[in-house]
Chain A
């Protein structure tokens, strides 16, 4: 008992105000900073491309303000350029963003004690980046309450940055007409590789990631980015099966 008591006390002494909503908010923002560095070229290129595709200022800003989903915004711009009708663009958005349903399913457990308004706000901000940052903080079993403030901090910084960069692309992008050909689009795979690497600590994780990568190439020719969903489902299945195989092996030993 005394040991427990002193450990508890030491824990409090080490982090006297680390669990307050404000410090959790800024901790979330700080942990999202590397991802923001990767997102900056994206937002600027999106604004530039949208302007050259003939989208209006209002529609471009509206997309970043209300849709807030980078990949589907890029797809939308390319479809507008190709003259595709808006209902088809909305349908394509649905398919491209379908993966976020899996993000929502993952967060159900972590958000279960939040009120509906909090759930709506945080669900709106479930981008690839904020999801990755928030889920790793939630998964840390340190008993810190109020991690939704951490999640909010990550979301607000991603959102602010995305809209600012879209605006810069729309306005200043005209000064650099060839910016979309600079190859800054490598920022996305670079960021995502950095996110994936810490996950690769177990054999099932490796199996799931290798499977997803292989299927994403094999199914890459499918229309409307359906290959992405197929690769994701195959990867998850591989991970779960591999996990089962290894646990059975252990039981036999």
Chain B
């Protein structure tokens, strides 16, 4: 007798459960949009689509010239990935720059395996609020890097620190980790699911 009342309640609540399952997945693109909009957490535009767009800030930074009154220490770290037999280090551990000044540093990497590896360097910066003031003009992290067995490379990073870097920050740490782009990429289900989620 009360069956149909329950049916409505149960269907409604089940729908909520299904929608919330979807919401869990919707958090992924939401998070990406949020992080890109605010430049949080190292997820810059260039990391996402592998191309670099010259943003207005870069032009402005260069036009405004060098701020000789401030000196920023930039430290470089290279992390070794346990899944990648790889030698990887920065050639300069630390460099002092003035905001607005274009600088170049180099990183050294060598493939220790006997296979050709297509790898991608993923950047991370501390403090994370400084990410949007650390502009990369050229970076080895923009593209996949192909390493033949035993091949060694020196790779450039050209950058400018924005004059608008908040006062009180005088030390930046930029780290990179190389990842094997081919790992776990053989499954076609994967591509399907991914394209489904990322639209």
Asked whether A and B interact, the reply is no
